[in-house]
Amino acid sequence: MAAEIISGKDVAADVRDTVTKAVEALPGQPTLAVVLVGEDAASQVYVRNKVRQTEACGMRSLHHQLPKDATQYEVENLISDLNENDDVDGILLQLPLPKGLNEAAAIEKIHPDKDVDGLTETSAGRLSLGKAGMRPCTPTGCVILAKRALGEDLSGKHVVVIGRSILVGKPAALLFLAENCTISIAHSRTADLPGLCREADIVVPAVGRPEMVKGDWLKPGACVIDVGINRVPAPEKGEGKTKLVGDADFESCAKVAGSITPVPGGVGPMTIACLLRNTVLAACARRGWDVPEGL
């Protein structure tokens, strides 16, 4: 029996609908400020999508663009100005920054209460301690997708997260732990990775290795939340053509898994949806508003 396909597009649309209804119920309009440095084409597309979706949900979007030769001081000074602006609820620094700029230092300039990407050290500490705060968008999306496939109660599920990055692997493990799951974090030094995966109810590949996880790595009926986005040659489409694939070999995994996210169209759409959700949550926390039902 083929696995159920978990549509990130559909789930993200549901999250955006919830955010839109939440914004309508608020006494004011949340505001997201996006900072883009340079002229990276992919980043410009991402920012346009974020601005469009922010406004579509009824929120205000501020777009700040700095030239590619902007200095570290100019980037950090803009972030400081946005920290001081009471009208701004969330600050998003679009990554990657141009070469020569210190991304970590710039991120740390963002006030934790406006850190809607959940990337500052304070946000990471709050997550680790189980305290209220902003949660990283992509890992949050992974948990929401797993719940869509398996139900709201994930208690007791064994989750194997493959990858230990600070952007996805570690926070995803902590977020699943907060759902009362049993967590294994696997990485390049893990002994018998296929064997470990076969024990998992939920497998979250997040290492950036195309189609690494094979169907025979999975326990029958397991849920696969594939975070990987890899561009690989696609000679079947024509000379020089490419395609996007995940860290899981979709064809073989779909024959064994109970549910699986596709690439593209799985975890990817959830990232912006969770960013919008975080912006509303940040506005409520900053302004003393009640959090609308459903968020």
Active centre residues (catalytic): 50, 94, 117
Contact between 7 and 268 under an 8 Å Cβ cutoff? The reply is no
CA distance 28 to 30: 7
Q: Which two tokens stand for residue 241?
A: 């053509």
What is the rounded CA–CA span in Å between residue 175 and residue 127? 8
| Virtual torsion, Cα 61, 12, 140, 212, nearest 10 deg | -120
Nearest 5°: phi and psi at 256? -115, -40
Compute the distance between CA of residue 134 and CA of residue 127 in angstroms, rounded to an integer: 8
**What are the φ and ψ backbone dihedral angles of 62, each rounded to 5 degrees?**
-115, 125
- Distance separating alpha carbons of residues 96 and 61, to the nearest angstrom: 20
Identity at 72, one-letter amino acid code: Q
